[in-house]
Every structure is written in C-alpha cells, then in structure tokens.
Amino acid sequence: MFRVQIIFLLVASLAPQLQAIAIAEDKEPDPREKLETTIDYGIGLIEKKKYRELIEDFCHPEDLKNLRRVEKVNDVVASLQGKKGIVLLDVLKNIKLKEPRYNSDKTKATFPVDVEEAPQEQIIFEKSEKYWYLRN
C-alpha cells in the first residue's frame, strides 16, 4: 500500500512537466522558420487579405520598428489593399517556383522577379535569428 502511495505522489508531481512536454511537442513550427514556408505563408496572408498581419510577420523587425516609429504601418497596409497587394501576390507566386541565390552563410536569399508590374527586378529575404523576413 505504501508503494502505491509513493508511485501516485511521484506521478502526480510529474504531471505538469509531462503535460508541458506534450504541449511543446504538439506545437506546430512557425512557417517563417523555413524560406519555402515563409513564401507560402505570405501568399496565404495576402489571399486572406490579412495585410496588417503580413506587415507585422513578414517585415524584418528593424524595418517594422522604423515603420512604427514614423507611423507608416497604416499607409503600407492601405497600399497593399490595392494594386501593390496584387503585384506582391504575383511576385510571391512567381518566386515560389524558383531557386534563390544565397549569400555564403545562407542567411540572405535573392530571387529574380519576372513579374511585369513589379517595382524591382529582385526580391530579397533575410533570416534573422530563426525567422525569414522580406527585406525589400
């Protein structure tokens, strides 16, 4: 009987840790951890018209900080609701089919852009800590 009580107390005391481990294992990885899923994530946000979330999740933290400092986040969101959002969606779909050119430590990926209305001839993603972000 004494052994059963000890085992019960031991199991009861470990239950929170075991639950935390199970929750951590069930958690899906952030789509921004891989370049391919970052692009898919961006496409999905634009298709769902989640422009603010796109800006907050897709912009490099330094760029987002600057946008907030000069209070331009709303302007960028508004621009994406028009033609710029359609063009960005086309660009992301276009580059999804291509291989990027990486820098030596594979933290920067440059894709050529073949979308007629795109404002630039290339699009750059940069990995900062563990996430990929759009840099231009």
Query: What pLDDT, in 10s, does the model give residues 29-88?
Result: 999 999 999 999 999 999 999 999 999 999 999 999 988 888 888 999 999 999 999 999
Evaluate whether residue 22 is within a structural domain: no
Q: Residue 65 contacts by C-beta under 8 Å, 6 or more apart in sequence?
A: none
CA neighbor of 123 nearest in space, from 45, 58, 54? 58
The size of the chain, in residues, is 136
Evaluate whether residue 24 is within a structural domain: no
The model's pTM: 0.76
Domains identified in the chain, total number: 1
Evaluate whether residue 73 is within a structural domain: yes
Contact in structure between 95 and 39 (CB atoms under 8 Å): yes
Kindly state the helix (H) or strand (E) to which residue 28 belongs, with its residue range.
none
Parent domain of 97? 30-134
pLDDT in tens, 93-121: 999 989 999 999 999 999 999 998 999 99
Evaluate whether residue 15 is within a structural domain: no
Evaluate whether residue 18 is within a structural domain: no
Evaluate whether residue 107 is within a structural domain: yes
